[in-house]
Amino acid sequence: MTDTTPTLDLGPQAAVVARLAEGVTDEQLAAPTPCPQYAVRNVLGHLAGLAVAFRDAGRKDLGVTTDTDPGSALPEIGQGWREELPKVLGELAEAWRDPAAWTGMTRAGGVDLPGEIAGLVATDELVIHGWDLARATGQSYAPDPAALQVCHDFLAAAADDADRGDIFGPVVRVEADAALLDRAVGLSGREPGWTRRS
């Protein structure tokens, strides 16, 4: 791990996402989201899957959960998602409180990567999909400031990477003095002004 790599506590941002999920009504599960092809239930399913995958990546407990390509199937929520999602989000945060999670190599989504990068990807996923969920369900969104800064810096570093591939959409340019969240959302390939009526 380099001296410049943050060992961020993912707990506050995981708690923000859990609160947003708690605020989702059954009637909103089929609503559209800023993620093309994803309804709210799919974003929730993706969050549940990534929480398990990055929990196990942080623990270096590699296997089926860390080998599965997240794009291989449209994610869905299970019957007990309201109890399961906050549980696995808490476990994710706890796994990354161990400094060893940020060192060595691990795997997530079937991709081998350094622990420090996996931690940054997990942060990005929680911040950006938290925004997706909030926008799709009309909830206010105040991400953990530390997680938001890490997410923005991670996305900014990847903005000009020719190998962005399918992980992010094309960068949506926003004003340089826009709010940090809007800049991060734009860097992720989303339109910061997206609304449920977009």
Q: What pLDDT was estimated at residue 101?
A: 97
- Residue 198: pLDDT band with limits 50, 70, 90: low
Average pLDDT over residues 52-60: 97
| Average pLDDT estimate for 78-95 | 96
More confident residue, 3 or 158: 158
SS (H, E, C) 53-108: HHHHHHHCCCCHHHHCCCCCCCCCCCCCHHHHHHHHHHHHHHHCCCHHHHCCEEEE
- Are 155 and 168 in contact by the 8 Å Cβ rule? The answer is yes
pLDDT digits (tens, 9 = 90+) for 29-51: 999 999 988 999 999 999 999 99
Q: If you average pLDDT over every residue of the chain, what do you get?
A: 91
| Mean pLDDT within 124-146 | 97
Return the pLDDT at 4. Answer: 47
User: Could you tell me the two tokens for 107?
Assistant: 């795997």
Supply the pLDDT for residue 6.
Answer: 53
Q: What pLDDT, on a 0 to 100 scale, did the predictor assign at position 68? A: 86
Residue 99 pLDDT greater than 80, yes or no: yes
**Which tokens in the block code for residue 35?**
């993620």
* pLDDT at site 164: 46
Residue 196, pLDDT score: 79
Q: Provide DSSP, 157-194.
A: HHTT-TT-TTTS-------TTS-HHHHHHHHTT--TT-
198: helix, coil or strand? coil
Mean pLDDT score, 126-146: 97
